[in-house]
Amino acid sequence: MAVSLEAKRADQPFQFMAASYLIRIGAQPVQTLGDLAKSLRTCPQASIFYHTFQSLEAHHYTSFSSDFAQWALTACNEAALAEQLAIVDLREIVSLEDLRRILVDIVSDYLKEHPQAADRRAFEAFYFCEAKEVTVPSGSPAWTLPELSEGIRHLGHQSLHYHFINSRLRLQLQTNDFSYWIERNLNHPWLAARLNRIDFYNDTLDELRQDILRVLEPAESQ
Amino acid sequence: MSTTEVAKPVLPVLQDYAAIVGEPEILELRELARRLAGRRVKMVNSTAVGGGVAEILNRLVPLMEEVNVSTRWEVITGGEKFFHVTKAFHNALHGAPYEGAQDWFDAFLATNEDNRRRMQFDEDFIIIHDPQPVALIAERNSGPRRWVWRCHIDLSNPNPQVWDFLRPWVDRYDASLFSSPQFTRGLRIPQYLFYPTIDPLADKNRELEPQFVRGVLEQFHVDPARPILTQISRFDRLKDPVGVIRAYRLVKKYEDCQLVLAGGSATDDPEGAAVLQEVEQAAAGDPDIHILNLPPWSHVEINALQRGSTIVIQKSLKEGFGLTVSEALWKKKPVVASAVGGIPSQVIHKLTGMLVHSVEGTAYQIRFLLANPVFAKTLGENGHQHVKEHFLLTQNLRRYLVLFLVLLQGD
């Protein structure tokens, strides 16, 4: 007799984490696109992460979610470069070094085509920052899909971001913590894949939570 | 001279904020705090009333206590000369000329030393707010105590004479906290981003009945039927109240509006009375300019004035963060504010408010918003959401808890 997905119990539970971030500000601000290209090559990986993955959490009103793109647009008035930086799809990225290379190539190629833009002083400086992450286990572990949904309902914003967006780099599998657990522990790759197709780029975190629950809740009754 | 421990008023509890930020955020705050159970914190600043720092601490300290992170708030004391010197420091750190003599530095250090001798520093984390008590770091020894300097002011263009004097003291701390990346000075110690925050349940920000708002306007002889432009800030030249009057007069050529300039003076600001006099002279003869020098406990009245306003202005020349901007945004008010200090973190131009750079620009954007009320309403709605996500008290509590955990891990 088949066991419903709602009743199915995982071999290993899902452990929710409460994630919090402290933002450390770098010592040397960047004033030009030429300096940005140089700093992108040498800045800590944590800074690449902060200004791309982490900034997805912060921007609901600005044109682009990438801090680099937003700065190129608003401080350097280089809309074409901003667009190139913004369209890097973080869902395809599993390594910060890969992401660094992509960003460096975009800025370098642009400056080859537009050398006059390299030394033009920006309207305001760009400060490389990095996020210090603190995580602590939170709430009851989930053994079933309904328990996973319940836990997601009680996740704070930063923790939801940690499990659904930041997790892609931690796992290095182009997926999120929830999909990874569902696939490995409930053996439902179709549900995992469906969850992973949610477009987190255009959601606020509250909307993202609702999107996730909309995928999980019908599946529970199947 | 003795240090003053600040009395604790009756305040909302952490659970009261769940209705605003959501139950999950509160649960996670408690989880974080559990990791710090038994740890003790000392906060030190230079004034118990007036100004943004005292307001933040008044609300933050009780919440830290509630989650069992024992927190003691102490205020340094000093004579008239000390506060005269620190006001000159404040202005100089914002880029103004500094004309103090060597004995001013000596007086500054002597007052810090007097306070250091009288205070006990046996907590795990010592948070020193702003330059006034910065030299208390002289107490630091090689023990496990972590010392953090919280800078609330804009250090982007400091007078070098004053900054060069203060910097060696700052360099002795374990970490520094700034309200914006633009305020930092390339310190060798870690520099962390700490947005200041407002308390949505405080008298200054809580919901008010429309009848009460109307009553307050009428109490101050402000006509609720005509557009009301308001700037809330203490009477300080860096807030440019005279510039606000000039902008109002440019708007008044075309719109039958009123101006409210409401504020008070902090106990550490000896220039307040002189600035108030300048403002009164600039406003002389115009019955539609309402200058309200309010006592420091006028929180509900300020709340009502903001809620009753058509547009809120913050035309600062320099600014630490400008918490009055977040207060106005929280009340869904369209804001016209200078692009200085921490204001651009709160006002994203044309999305959560309008940024300006001059008296004329201020008048221009006020006229634009008065002529486009639907757009003005959208700015206010966006601004409210922006504050909810970044600038509420619960986020400040979270940042401090995370800071303490990071310091214990040894960043």
Is residue A43 within 8 A of residue A29, CB to CB? The reply is: no
Is residue A108 domain-resident? yes
Q: Which residues of A touch B (CB under 8 A)?
A: 18, 20-25, 27-29, 58, 60-62, 124-125, 127, 129, 132, 134, 136-139, 153-159
A179 and A214 inside one domain: yes
pLDDT band, residue A9 (cuts 50/70/90): confident
User: Looking at the structure, do residues A173 and A142 belong to the same domain, yes or no?
Assistant: yes
Q: Which residue reads 């407002």 in tokens?
A: B198
Select from A97, A129, A161 the last residue of a domain. Answer: A129
Those of residues 220-279 in B touching chain A at CB distance below 8 A are none
For the stretch A32-42, pLDDT in tens is 999 999 999 99
Q: Decide if A79 is inside a domain.
A: yes
Contacts of A193 (CB under 8 A, 6+ apart): A179
Give domain status of residue A15, yes or no. Answer: no
- Which residues of chain B have a CB within 8 Å of the CB of A137? 31
Q: How far is CA A10 from CA A6, A16, A189, B220, in A?
A: 11, 15, 14, 66
In this predicted structure, the answer to whether residue A209 has a pLDDT above a threshold of 70 is yes
pLDDT (tens digit per residue) in B259-280: 999 987 655 566 888 899 999 9
Beta-bridged to residue B70, according to DSSP, are: B40
Q: Considering A106, A129, A152, which residue would you say is the last residue of a domain?
A: A129
Give the position of tokens 């004053």. B162
Residues A178 and A79 in one domain: no
Residue A180 confidence class, pLDDT cut points 50, 70, 90 = very high
Say how far apart CA B387 and CA A69 lie, in whole Å. 23
Q: Residue A191: name the closest of A32, A18, A2, A4 by CA.
A: A4
Q: Tell me whether B401 touches chain A (CB under 8 Å).
A: yes
Tell me: do A148 and A179 sit in the same domain: yes
Residues ≥6 apart with Cβ < 8 Å to B103? none
pLDDT above 80 for A20: yes
Looking at the structure of chain A, the number of domains it has is 2
CA distance B226 to B60: 38
Of B193, B352, B398, the CB nearest to A20: B398
Angle B158-B162-B165 from CA coordinates, rounded to 5°: 125
Residue reference for tokens 């006099």? B277
B39 touching A (Cβ < 8 Å): no
Judging contacts by C-beta atoms under 8 Å, the chain B residues touching residue A156 are 22, 24-25, 27-28
Give the whole-angstrom CA distance, residue B398 versus residue B339.
27
Residues of A in contact with B184 (CB under 8 A): 25, 27, 127
Which among A129, A164, A188 is the end of a domain?
Answer: A129
Do A114 and A151 lie in one domain? The reply is: no
The pLDDT value recorded for residue B411 is 62
Is B292 within 8 Å of B260 (Cβ atoms)? yes
Minimal C-alpha gap between B365 and chain A (Å):
20
Residue A179 placed within a domain: yes
Structure tokens that stand for B252 in this block: 């008044």
Between chains, do A27 and B25 touch, taking CB under 8 Å as contact? no
For residue A106, what are the domain limits? 22-129
The verdict on A36 and A113 lying in the same domain is yes
Do A216 and A142 belong together in one domain? yes
H-helix or E-strand spanning residue A17: strand A17-25
Q: Kindly state whether residue A73 falls inside one of the protein's structural domains.
A: yes
Whether residue A159 sits in one domain with residue A75:
no
Phi then psi for residue B353, to 5 deg, are: 165, -170
Q: How confident is the model at residue A174 (pLDDT cuts 50, 70, 90)?
A: confident
Q: What is the pLDDT of residue B56?
A: 87
Q: Is there a contact between B402 and A132 if contact means CB atoms under 8 Å apart?
A: yes
Q: Which of B306, B237, B299 is nearest to B273 (CA)?
A: B237
- Would you call B156 an interface residue with chain A, using a CB distance cutoff of 8 Å? no
Residues A97-106, mean pLDDT to the nearest whole number: 97
Residue B189 touches chain A, beta carbons under 8 Å: no
Does residue A14 form part of some domain? no
**pLDDT reported for residue B2:** 42
Cα A184 from Cα A144, distance rounded (Å)? 13
Instruction: Choose the closest CB to A129 out of B27, B193, B389.
Output: B193
CB pairs under 8 A between A and B: 87
- Quote the CA–CA distance of B2 and B116 in Å, as a whole number: 10
Cβ proximity of B105 and B129 under 8 Å: no
Q: At A20, phi and psi to the nearest 5? A: -140, 155
Q: What is the pLDDT of residue B269?
A: 64
Task: Tell me the nearest-neighbour CA distance from A44 into chain B, angstroms.
Answer: 15
Contact between chains at B192 and A25 (C-beta distance less than 8 A) = yes
Cα gap B58→B382, rounded to integer Å: 28
The DSSP call for residue A31 is: -
Query: Do residues A28 and A120 both lie within one domain?
Result: yes
Hey, are the CB atoms on A61 and B351 less than 8 Å from each other?
yes
Place of tokens 């004329």: B360
**Distance to chain B for A82, nearest Cα, Å:** 18
pLDDT tens by residue, chain B, 411 residues: 344 455 555 678 999 999 999 999 999 999 999 999 999 999 999 988 767 788 889 889 999 999 999 999 999 999 999 999 999 999 999 888 998 888 999 999 999 999 999 999 999 999 999 999 999 999 998 778 999 999 998 888 899 999 999 999 999 999 999 999 989 988 999 999 999 899 999 999 999 999 999 999 999 999 999 999 999 998 989 899 999 999 999 999 999 999 999 987 655 566 888 899 999 999 998 999 999 999 888 999 999 999 999 999 999 998 878 889 999 999 999 999 999 888 999 998 888 999 999 999 999 999 999 999 999 999 999 999 899 988 999 999 999 999 999 999 886
* Domains of chain B and CATH, by start: 4-197+392-409 (3.40.50.2000), 210-390 (3.40.50.2000)
User: Does residue A16 lie in a domain region?
Assistant: no
- pLDDT of res. A2: 52
**What pLDDT, on the 0 to 100 scale, is given for residue A85?**
96
In the chain, the amino acid numbered A16 is: F
Q: Quick one: what percent of chain A has pLDDT higher than 70?
A: 93
Largest CA distance in chain A: 71
Contact B32 A24 (CB under 8 A): no
| CA–CA separation, B1 and B18 (whole Å) | 42
Given A23, A25, A155, which is nearest B24 (Cβ)?
Answer: A155
ipTM, two decimals:
0.89
Report whether pLDDT(A19) > 60: yes
Distance to chain A for B236, nearest Cα, Å: 26
Task: Answer yes or no: do A36 and A121 share one domain.
Answer: yes
SS (H, E, C) chain B: CCCEECCCCCCCCHHHHHHHHCHHHHHHHHHHHHCCCCCEEEEEECCCCCCHHHHHHHHHHHHHHHCCCEEEEEECCCCHHHHHHHHHHHHHHCCCCCCCCHHHHHHHHHHHHHHHHHCCCCCCEEEEECCCCHHHHHHCCCCCCEEEEEECCCCCCCCHHHHHHHHHHHCCCCEEEECCHHHCCCCCCCEEECCCCECCCCCCCCCCCHHHHHHHHHHCCCCCCCCEEEEECCCCHHHCHHHHHHHHHHHHCCCCCEEEEEECCCCCCCCHHHHHHHHHHHHCCCCCEEEEECCCCCHHHHHHHHHHCCEEEECCCCCCCCHHHHHHHHCCCCEEEECCCCHHHHCCECCCEEEECCHHHHHHHHHHHHHCHHHHHHHHHHHHHHHHHHCEHHHHHHHHHHHHHHHHHCC
User: Is the same domain home to A106 and A154?
Assistant: no
Residue B314 phi/psi, 5-degree rounding, is -140, 85
Q: Are residues A118 and A156 in the same domain?
A: no
pTM greater than the 0.90 cutoff: no
Select the more confidently predicted residue: A205 or A195: A195
Average pLDDT, chain A: 90
User: What is chain B's length?
Assistant: 411
Residue A4 has pLDDT above 80, yes or no: no
* pLDDT score for A172: 78
Residue A7 domain-assigned (yes or no):
no
Task: Spell out which residues of chain B touch residue A124, defining contact as CB-CB under 8 Å.
Answer: 182
- For an interface test with B, the pick among A16, A25, A157 (most B C-beta atoms closer than 10 Å) comes out as A25
Which DSSP letter does residue A197 get? T
